[in-house]
Chain A
Amino acid sequence: MRKTLEQLSKLWTLLIVIVFAQSASAQNWQLQGKVSDSRTQEPLIGATVAVEGTTQGTLSDFDGNFQLTGSNILPININVTLVGYLPTTIVIYDTEEPIEVSLTEDLLKLSEVVVVGYGTQKRSNLTASLASVSADKLQGISVSSVDNMLEGLASGVMVSTPGSQVGQAPIVNIRGVASISSSTTPLYVVDGIPVNNNDIASSTDYNPLSDINPADIKSIDVLKDAAATALYGSRAAAGVILITTNSGAGQTKSKVTYDYNFGLSKATNLFEPMNAEQYTDIKNEGWLNNGGSPTALPYATMTDKNGKTVSTNWVDLIFRTGATHNHNLNFQGSNEKLTYYISAGLTKQEGITIDAGYDRFTFRANTTYEVNKYINLGFNSSYAWSKIRTSDSSRGGSLSSIGGLTRLAYVDLPNVPAYAEDGSFYASEVSPGNLGKGNNSVEVFYYNVLAVAKGGHYNESKTNRILASPYAEIKPLKGLTLKTQYGIDWTIVQNESFSPPVKGSGTYSNGGSSSVGTTSLKTWTWTNTADYKLTIEKNNINVLLGVEASESERHGWSRSGTQLSDADIAYVEANYITYGGSGNISESSLFSYISRLTYDYDGKYLFTANWRRDGLSKLGKKWGNFWGLSAAWRLSDENFFKPLRSFIDDFKVKASYGIVGNANVGWYASKTTYGTSTFNGQTSYNSSGVNDPNLGWEQTGTTDVGFTAALLKHRLSVDVDFFKSKSKDLILDSSQAYSTGIVGASISTNLGKVENKGIEIGLNAAIINKKRFKWNSTFNISFVKNKVVELDDDIVSLSSIKANITTEGYSMGQLYVYPTAGVDPQTGRRIVKIKQADGSYVNQLLIYKNGNGGLGLYDLDGETKSIYSISDWKPEIAGNTKPTVYGGWNNTFKFLGFDASVNFHFSGGNKILNAMKATLSDGRMWSGTEDYYKNVWRKPGDKSDYAKTSYNDSYSNGTSYLNSDLIENGTFVRLQSASVGYTFNTKKWPTALGISSLRIYAQAHNLFTITSYSGFDPEINSHAESANLNSGIDLNTTPLSRTFTIGATLSL
């Protein structure tokens, strides 16, 4: 086959040579030459060699040789071009000598085609700002979803992993946070079809993007400024991420590829919990500090039947090293008429806690078929099934849930056993749903974490997702393409939770309970476009017109059962004494008109205009206009630039302005309705909240100014963008006082303005480009500043698990905590700061006296009751939670058959509230960290973060009243991924084996992090579900994981 191909191409070359030769005129001179690769010195076949300003030209043959004749007056300019190489021009003064033309690989991919909305464009002709990530950069990264892959890879794109609970999605912000209450998830478009990115599972977290098998992805293009995104109009304010999957195009020989890898993951960082003696000791110390009697100590260790002191490390029992298996198989190829790519993937992943697991299989079939020169047909489809399983129930708003495994593992008492002597989970005698108290006199509310994780409790989401889009392209006349594409995105999630009546696990007394249900979300999108390309001399014109309609339907129901009829038949499907149920239906529709005009003059002056009009059912004022204008000027093509050309190969300046929208709001955000329920068995109606009937589009105006330069013979490219975006008419939940009695204490309305501005710098360098060794390096850094410009009412989230405020003049989601000034070394008490009318502070001490007045403020002597009361201690704005700088540094190396990559990711400028530290140093009956035990204040003069322990004191270290002493710096640098691979030289292998390529590799993900943050991880964001407003809080969240993977890829 390979031979045939070579022969074919030689023949082809020959034919062209003949054709060109015939068109040549008088033969006054003859030029001979050879084209080769500048790095490998290998001859290059099929390079076009043409005389500038004429139609004379030829192609290099299979030895790289060419011959050109002409009659032009010398000197002449010869242009040599080849796909994948940089074009070069040679001035010929003398045609007698044969010339050597060496072409340089287009390492920076300036001439590559990138995907833009509803079409493609040559990168070098872009007027807009976009970041592309090609397949080779994704090679060293083994993660389960596409958004995770982007971490640190694309400039201006901040990807943050908030925790490692199975199914959890990362937080993705492109150029800052544009919206206040609307979700600012970017719009994801897969092969031209916008796909759902909302977590519709109710039992567990579910990242809809993990339904796209990363192994199927060919490239990712991130549209950032309005010039690029305006074509997606109303959904584009948070940026657009275009994902292109593999097609088989260019793969003239059919190929089967199988990839397998095996990985091991564990928590990056865990704290050492207290052991039984430490726990007993510190708790009794608290009792004595509170004036308790030394003869009636409430805490005591217990001994097992062998006489050993019972000391349980619950953290060890819950966390594990989880194994992951990935299998990917694909079959692809193409011929003149047909391209195809068919794949199957299987992933089996164990979570880093003993309860958690993730299984997925995916199928994909992409094909195109050219019926004749007028008609092209295509069909992209995928099916994904996944099962997400965990028994952890601390998600989102329920961080303090006593079903949260990470929290339970740390707070469960170490001086009681995990199992009772009969082998059952150790449980309370009085209240068998709870953990037993052992020899302590204090009963605990907590569950036996092992009973929760291993006792049969589970929450499970089984997802089924079909993405299918057939399309047809008709080319009735030259330059005109009519395209119709119909896409379906249908997800069905089976939600299931089960709590068997297991002692120690909370649900014992209920007799078991279960909940089952289904959520279905179906969206169809029908797009019709007409694209017309016209070239008149050096004027290139491209017009796109289109209409798009889309409709979404969501259905959900659930059925709950309580108290198993027979406790021994413990299944979700079993018979229960009581049943309940509920359901919901939501529908929305979107209709749009699309248009784009691009114009360029000789690739030198470039101009693009976009306009889109959207109508959305969710809003009161349904219709909105979105548009973008952009222009670029390739200075390097101008004569005056010539002197710089030896140094700067390509230089383009660009500017854009546009308006995009964001309407990621509730399905019926403009309708005020009542929901139904029952009261005493009769129908009752209650307000579901007040909505604004005039709710309209949220609009973001974005300005972008930047330049792109290629330097040092195309070895270095520099991209710099300055951007400023201003969002107005923000759809936000304006805070309503509780005393209004408005349901949810908020109303969605168009209020407020927010601004993001910043600089993005991207460098791409081919640092070493020798025959045997290549080192490519890309570096990106973004500085983003977010600011709320206008807001009528502050948005305050203040509870035991939230401490944020969004207010005018600051970035969104500021920390909002009670001001403190550390622990007083003399008394060991927390110093609180009481703000005075003149803005100064008075320091007082916070002391909790259990059963003896409770919480109170005292003078600095620790004795005199303060003149201030607790109500005088007010929360304050205490720090920005949005990173102001982030980026990545990615390196790929090739040495002989070896390849390697090293990707760093960094982020900083933000603060984190280490609320976990407060929880794990609490004075109540729960346990904590060894760090707390070792460093707590014990005697006058001790300098400590932890206040003097006191019986049942939940205040001094900040569990109640989250305080400013818990704030830390969130800056970090992380070795995000590193990989090394070896590709065997299969050419030397017997052809009978049929192996066309074989690569083995090893990868590490999240290898190390440099940070001053003392919690699990600086990326943790415990409120990932509402990250815009509630960020920077680390509380009871599963830590991040580190993964080591080995694998092999085999192609036949």
Chain B
Amino acid sequence: MKRNIYTSLASIALAIASTSCGDDFLDKNPPLSVTEDDLYATESGIEGVYNGILSRFRSLGVEAVIIADNRSDDFVNYGMNTYYYSEVYNMNVGAASVVNPGYFQSGYLAVNAANILKENLENRSNLPISDEVRKEYISGALFIRDFAWYYLAQVYSQPYAYDPNALAIPIHTEAINGPGYNNAELWTIGQIYDQILSDLSDENIAALPAYTSKFDPTRPSQAAALMLRQRINMAKLDWNAAIADGESILGFTLSNSVADMFDAPYYTNENIFSLPSTNTERGHNPIFYFNHEGGYIDTLNTRTGILTNPAYHLASDSRTAFIRQDPNSIGIDGQPNKDVWYEKYDEYSVRLEWTHLFRYAETLLNLAESYYNVGNESKAAELLNTVRSRSIPSGDIIDVLSLTGDELREAIYNERRAEFLGEGLRGYDISRRAEDYVYPLSTKTGDAWNTKVVATPSDRSTYAWALPEYELQVNKSINN
């Protein structure tokens, strides 16, 4: 009997021992992921993190373009689908709007990814990269967060030109790596612009790649940072600073035609900062909303949009090739009709076209506007002419170089609309100048279409978006 018990106990012990384990058995790591420590141990790891923040920003940037055009007076959103930006078009984005949280969140994902990279590069020792590269990436990270803040502030704030103290968005200038940071105060648009200007100091910009013959417009560069700084300075009406920024951008040239930048390889020497698509990363552009194959989401405003002005709808203007008309419709010169699209993006099934955020034509037109505002009209006209004559080499009905005063200003404004139609500039130009958003009605007075002011800078609830409901719930520092 006793022996039996011992045998049994021994076999239990054996069974336990054989299934027993060390901590090895309970130590499992995800084979397809990497830890932060791993990443900062190699040069390629750090480069990969840098690429990561660019890809975060890409999501935001594409959406920012779609939003700007949906806010602009050159397109009409017929979609009436809240997922397809109908509330953006109607200037009705509330806390619970469908598009609101996604845009807000993608902005902060880019900001925090950039902040985390920046702090790791600042605080870790023995990094496997040169100090030059380290500084480039830090400046790149600053550029990315600044650009993200810029885009967010455009829709969540009343314009600087209306009120520099308008409350905009919550800002974290430091990386968030854990819980406990839900409460962040709103900064004013003035504070944000000042922060961007201090981030984009000459010294920081100098750490970024300069223009070379092998310039890569998908990466932050000196020129890209200067473009952002120029936009901020223009928004602050600091025209001289804006001129200095623009004049520092060197090496770039206008392409033969605007269309060149939307055909393979989808960039030219005109592109300063672009969001790429590749064979395996398709569709990083707004084509779904603006192409006829997506349906009637965003079509041209054929009542009061810029292309109803004959000077911007010339047969000799190579940009009119982007207009696509439903064969059954009467079209832009005839009766009102919604079946007209503007298709810079026309490769619907391929979706390889890049989204261009800064191109040299904008540099020139920004300079034109800035020179105009400091009174240098001839310089302004000359710059305007450079851009306009690229698309209209002959047969222009405007003598650009002879324009002065209000006519010149109007021509610069209009050229910006025509040149960047479908590229997301117009919506932000309106708010930069604190103008009203004016949309067409379906009624006429005489030959002219009636219009309606849908948002005016003094009315925050229409002019700017409400912060997303979730943010309002969780971030207790926002008083609303």
On A, residues with C-beta under 8 Å from B are 293, 296, 400, 428, 430-434, 442-443, 445, 474, 476-477, 480, 482, 484, 509-511, 526, 528, 530, 545, 547-549, 551, 562-563, 578, 580, 583-591, 615-618, 622, 667-668, 671-688, 690, 692, 734-743, 745, 747, 749, 793-794, 796, 798-800, 818, 850-855, 869-871, 875, 924-925, 952, 954, 960-961
- A-B contacts, 16 of them at CB < 8 A, read A296-B442, A430-B295, A433-B293, A443-B78, A443-B295, A484-B15, A591-B21, A615-B26, A674-B35, A685-B52, A690-B179, A741-B108, A741-B110, A745-B470, A799-B101, A869-B461
- Please tell me if B398 contacts chain A, counting CB pairs below 8 Å: no
Q: Which of B1, B90, B475 contacts A854 (CB 8 A)?
A: B90
Nearest CB in chain A to that of B329: its residue = A430
- The interface centre, meaning the residue of A526, A736, A740 with most chain B CB atoms within 10 A of its CB, is A740
Given A476-B4, A477-B5, A584-B32: A431 and B294 interface contact (C-beta under 8 Å): yes
User: What is the minimal beta-carbon distance from A253 to any residue of chain B, in angstroms?
Assistant: 37
* Residues 89 to 134 of chain B near chain A (Cβ within 8 Å): 90-92, 94-98, 101, 104-105, 108-113, 115-116
Residues on the A chain within 8 Å of B179, using CB: 690, 734, 736, 747, 749
Find out whether the CB atom of A674 lies under 8 angstroms from the CB atom of B49: yes
Given A684-B51, A686-B55, A740-B172: A549 and B25 interface contact (C-beta under 8 Å): yes
* Residues 331 to 360 of chain B near chain A (Cβ within 8 Å): 339, 348-349
Residues on the B chain within 8 Å of A800, using CB: 82, 96, 98
Residues on the B chain within 8 Å of A434, using CB: 295
Given A679-B54, A685-B48: A616 and B35 interface contact (C-beta under 8 Å): no
Nearest CB in chain B to that of A526: its residue = B19
How many angstroms from the CA of A745 to the CA of B105 in the assembled complex?
8
Residues on the A chain within 8 Å of B445, using CB: none
- The interface centre, meaning the residue of B8, B97, B177 with most chain A CB atoms within 10 A of its CB, is B8
Residues on the B chain within 8 Å of A431, using CB: 292-296
User: What is the minimal beta-carbon distance from B158 to any residue of chain A, in angstroms?
Assistant: 14
Q: Which of B8, B26, B81, B111 contacts A622 (CB 8 A)?
A: B26
How many A-B pairs have beta carbons closer than 8 Å: the answer is: 306
Find out whether the CB atom of A578 lies under 8 angstroms from the CB atom of B279: yes
Residues on the A chain within 8 Å of B441, using CB: 851-852
- Please tell me if B276 contacts chain A, counting CB pairs below 8 Å: yes
Residues on the A chain within 8 Å of B470, using CB: 735, 737-738, 745, 796, 798
Contact string against A for B residues 452-480, beta-carbon threshold 8 Å, 1 for contact and 0 otherwise: 10100000011000101111011100001
Residues on the A chain within 8 Å of B462, using CB: 854
Given A674-B34, A685-B49: A740 and B176 interface contact (C-beta under 8 Å): yes
Contact string against A for B residues 282-310, beta-carbon threshold 8 Å, 1 for contact and 0 otherwise: 10000000001111100000000000000
Find out whether the CB atom of B31 lies under 8 angstroms from the CB atom of A738: no
- Please tell me if B198 contacts chain A, counting CB pairs below 8 Å: no
Q: Which 9 A-B pairs have the closest CB atoms?
A: A741-B112, A684-B51, A673-B33, A741-B108, A431-B295, A528-B15, A854-B92, A679-B51, A739-B170
Excluding A679-B58, A737-B184, 6 further A-B contacts by CB distance (< 8 Å) are A430-B296, A578-B280, A735-B473, A799-B98, A854-B90, A870-B95
Residues on the B chain within 8 Å of A551, using CB: 25
User: What is the minimal beta-carbon distance from A905 to any residue of chain B, in angstroms?
Assistant: 36
- Please tell me if B45 contacts chain A, counting CB pairs below 8 Å: yes
Find out whether the CB atom of A671 lies under 8 angstroms from the CB atom of B35: yes
Find out whether the CB atom of B82 lies under 8 angstroms from the CB atom of A960: yes
Nearest CB in chain A to that of B56: its residue = A686
Residues on the B chain within 8 Å of A445, using CB: 79, 81, 84, 295
Residues on the B chain within 8 Å of A296, using CB: 442
Find out whether the CB atom of B8 lies under 8 angstroms from the CB atom of A480: yes
How many angstroms from the CA of A944 to the CA of B25 in the assembled complex?
64
Residues on the A chain within 8 Å of B20, using CB: 547, 591
- Please tell me if B7 contacts chain A, counting CB pairs below 8 Å: yes
Find out whether the CB atom of A586 lies under 8 angstroms from the CB atom of B19: no
Find out whether the CB atom of B8 lies under 8 angstroms from the CB atom of A477: yes
On B, residues with C-beta under 8 Å from A are 1, 4-5, 7-8, 11-12, 15-16, 19-21, 25-36, 39, 44-45, 47-49, 51-52, 54-56, 58, 78-84, 86-87, 90-92, 94-98, 101, 104-105, 108-113, 115-116, 169-172, 176-179, 181-184, 218, 276, 278-282, 292-296, 326, 339, 348-349, 439, 441-442, 452, 454, 461-462, 466, 468-471, 473-475, 480
Find out whether the CB atom of A547 lies under 8 angstroms from the CB atom of B82: no
Residues on the B chain within 8 Å of A443, using CB: 78, 295-296
How many angstroms from the CA of A617 to the CA of B30 in the assembled complex?
11
Find out whether the CB atom of A676 lies under 8 angstroms from the CB atom of B48: yes
User: What is the minimal beta-carbon distance from B59 to any residue of chain A, in angstroms?
Assistant: 11
Nearest CB in chain A to that of B474: its residue = A737
Nearest CB in chain A to that of B101: its residue = A738
Residues on the A chain within 8 Å of B36, using CB: 672, 674
Nearest CB in chain A to that of B275: its residue = A680
Residues on the B chain within 8 Å of A925, using CB: 80
Residues on the A chain within 8 Å of B79, using CB: 445
Find out whether the CB atom of A680 lies under 8 angstroms from the CB atom of B281: yes
How many angstroms from the CA of A618 to the CA of B475 in the assembled complex?
30
Find out whether the CB atom of A530 lies under 8 angstroms from the CB atom of B12: yes
Residues on the A chain within 8 Å of B466, using CB: 870-871
Find out whether the CB atom of A676 lies under 8 angstroms from the CB atom of B30: no
- The interface centre, meaning the residue of B8, B442, B474 with most chain A CB atoms within 10 A of its CB, is B474
User: What is the minimal beta-carbon distance from B474 to any residue of chain A, in angstroms?
Assistant: 4
How many angstroms from the CA of A684 to the CA of B84 in the assembled complex?
29
User: What is the minimal beta-carbon distance from B455 to any residue of chain A, in angstroms?
Assistant: 10
Find out whether the CB atom of A671 lies under 8 angstroms from the CB atom of B51: no
How many angstroms from the CA of A511 to the CA of B348 in the assembled complex?
10
How many angstroms from the CA of A239 to the CA of B30 in the assembled complex?
29
Given A737-B475, A851-B439, A954-B82: A960 and B468 interface contact (C-beta under 8 Å): no
Given A431-B295, A547-B20, A798-B473: A742 and B112 interface contact (C-beta under 8 Å): yes
